[in-house]
A and B are shown apart, each in its own frame.
Chain A
């Protein structure tokens, strides 16, 4: 079975600073990895996904993530934080979609300080 660990339930950065949200996974086989963002009282929006192509994945809103097999990590970064980035971020993993569903981490609440 696969699992996801997100380090830090809350992360606070200043506007304009680097955003780094950490995600480590556990999987017996190469997984497919995703980052989702959830704004208050809304559903989840897909930020980016890794499906065994390029290890550096670019997503929407200036976010990117790098798949590092040796570290079993898929950390999310953004060079310069914007106030509108304040939200809950979830890392998720699946082995093959379909009946596996997605296994989610517990989420990281990103706070942007003015």
Chain B
């Protein structure tokens, strides 16, 4: 079966522009997660959805970051007025409702110039 997919795979944008990253979870997975992986660092948990509800948005790095999810399907992570420190690989994962086994997508590599 299909795994988690993310698009685009690579995105280069100019500082100050807005970007939208997309995640398609595994069908039937109610939980969805966004992580950020900066060069040479571990993964940083950003936000979690159960269905289309995100109970805690405190992990988002700043108010320039927002995320939404339609039902138990696609999620988008939007970064407004991008800054160079936003350059990273953004990974999406999905799981069953319990979240104990998360399946990761290939990531979107964002470069802000």
Contacts and interface: CB of A to CB of B under 8 A. Distances in A.
A-B complex is real: yes
Interface of A: 4, 32, 36, 41-46, 49, 51, 90, 92, 94, 96-107
Contact of A43 (B4, B48, B56, B101): B4
A94 B101 CA distance: 11
Interface of B: 4, 31, 33, 35, 40-45, 48, 50, 55-56, 59, 91, 93, 95, 97-107
A48 B83 CA distance: 36
Contacts of A106: 40-42
B98 A90 contact: no
In this complex, which of A92, A97, A101, A103 has the most chain B Cβ atoms within 10 angstroms of its Cβ? A101
A101 to B, nearest CB: 3
The 5 closest A-B pairs by CB, nearest first: A97-B99, A101-B45, A43-B104, A104-B42, A44-B104
Contact of B101 (A46, A96, A103): A46
B43 A102 contact: yes
Given A49-B101, A98-B48, A90 B31 contact: no
A98 B107 contact: no
A101 B59 contact: yes
Given A99-B55, A101-B33, A101-B59, A90 B43 contact: yes
A42 B93 CA distance: 13
B106 A51 contact: no
Given A43-B4, A43-B105, A105-B42, A49 B48 contact: no
A109 to B, nearest CB: 10
Contacts of B106: 41-43
In this complex, which of A32, A42, A45, A97 has the most chain B Cβ atoms within 10 angstroms of its Cβ? A97
B65 to A, nearest CB: 15
A4 B40 CA distance: 16
A102 B91 contact: no
A32 B100 CA distance: 8
6 contacts: A43-B91, A43-B106, A49-B101, A98-B48, A101-B45, A101-B48
